[in-house]
Amino acid sequence: MSANLIALLIEATGQTLYMVAISTLLGTMFGLPLGVFLAISQRGELLSAPWVNKVLGLVVNATRSVPFIILVVAIIPFTRAIAGTSIGTTAAIVPLTIAAVPFIARLVENAIREVDSGLIEAARAMGATPFQIIRKVLVPEALPSITLGLTLAVVSLIGYSAMVGAVGGEGLGDLGIRYGYQRFMPDVMAVVVVILIVLVQLVQSIGEWIAARVDKRAPKGRGQ
């Protein structure tokens, strides 16, 4: 493999990491509060608003029903309005984020709903405001699950990022298609796949390590 190709592979890996990192960041910024709200706005919960909850739930489901490749193409005007252009790596972050938000929201919602309702009751009995309950009880208690959920989201986004070549987004997936498939260079395809496998493994391991670090639910080492 030529030095030229190696440089391309390194560049593509960087582009993939860039797209995934920014879209994860933005996806969490919007998805975390949305997920918390979805969890606590159900009937009888902390901020009961069943109708708003239903409408938001529908929007989230609708977004998640659209296959990613169709989402990428369907929102091109929106992407252009946000990013100034509809092609390129930076533009690809828009559809990636749009896909990440509802996904992360659902993961966060599930994590928050797993928090023992007794803790919410205890916090209410202390005179905590709903916002204090979210910040000091729900999110910290759900953090191990949220961390694992975000790991899952990052892995999915690495997969999605391979599709954004369709709108001129670059990265490992695009490189694999253009060189490995269209120019019939199986060695490039193989290296791309190996890099992706290594990336996913790394993300998964790091995610699990962080989740274990923040999880204080089971005693580790220090006995009773």
Partner 1 sequence: MSERAPKGASIVFETVGKAFTKPGGGTVSAVDDVSLTVEAGAITGIIGRSGAGKSTLLRMANGLERPTSGKVLVGGQDVGTAQGAALRAIRRDVGMIFQHFNLLASRTVAGNIALPLEVAGVPKPKIKARVADLIDRVGLTAQADRYPAELSGGQKQRVGIARALATEPKVLLSDEATSALDPKTTQTVLELLKDINRELGLTILLITHEMAVVRDIASHVAVIDNGKIVEAGTTYDVFTAPQHPTTRAFLSGVLGVTLPTFLKDKIQDTRPVGPAEEVIRVTFAGKHATDPMLALLTRDLGLQVNILAGAVEEIGTRPFGNLLVSLDAAKGADARAYLERHGLLTEVLGYVG
Site stretch for partner 1 (CB under 8 A), options 31-39, 65-73, 111-119, 159-167: 111-119
Query: Is the sign of the CA dihedral 96, 35, 155, 201 positive or negative?
Result: positive
Q: Residues 5, 143, 185, 210: which binds partner 1 (CB under 8 A)?
A: 143
Q: How far is the CB of 164 from partner 1 (least distance, A)?
A: 37
Which lies closer to partner 1 via its Cβ, residue 139 or residue 152? Answer: 139
Closest by CA to 188, choosing from 177, 197, 196, 180, is 180
Which lies closer to partner 1 via its Cβ, residue 143 or residue 185? Answer: 143
Q: Residues 21, 62, 73, 116: which binds partner 1 (CB under 8 A)?
A: 116
For tokens 């797993």, name the residue: 114
Question: Which two tokens mark 155?
Answer: 């892995």
Residue 137 as a binder of partner 1 (CB under 8 A): the answer is yes
Residue 44 as a binder of partner 1 (CB under 8 A): the answer is no
Question: Which two tokens mark 209?
Answer: 């390590």
Residue 8 as a binder of partner 1 (CB under 8 A): the answer is no
Residue 118 as a binder of partner 1 (CB under 8 A): the answer is yes
For residues 125 and 182, the answer to whether their CB atoms sit within 8 Å is no
Angle between helix 3-40 and 139-161 (nearest 10): 140
Site stretch for partner 1 (CB under 8 A), options 59-67, 83-91, 128-136, 145-153: 128-136
Residue 141 as a binder of partner 1 (CB under 8 A): the answer is yes
Pairwise CA distance, residues 97 & 118, whole Å: 35
Residue 208 as a binder of partner 1 (CB under 8 A): the answer is no
66 residue type, one letter:
V
Site stretch for partner 1 (CB under 8 A), options 68-76, 135-143, 161-169, 195-203: 135-143
Pairwise CA distance, residues 164 & 93, whole Å: 9
Pairwise CA distance, residues 92 & 85, whole Å: 10
Binding site for partner 1 (CB under 8 A): 116, 118-119, 121-129, 132, 136-137, 140-141, 143, 214, 216-219, 222-224
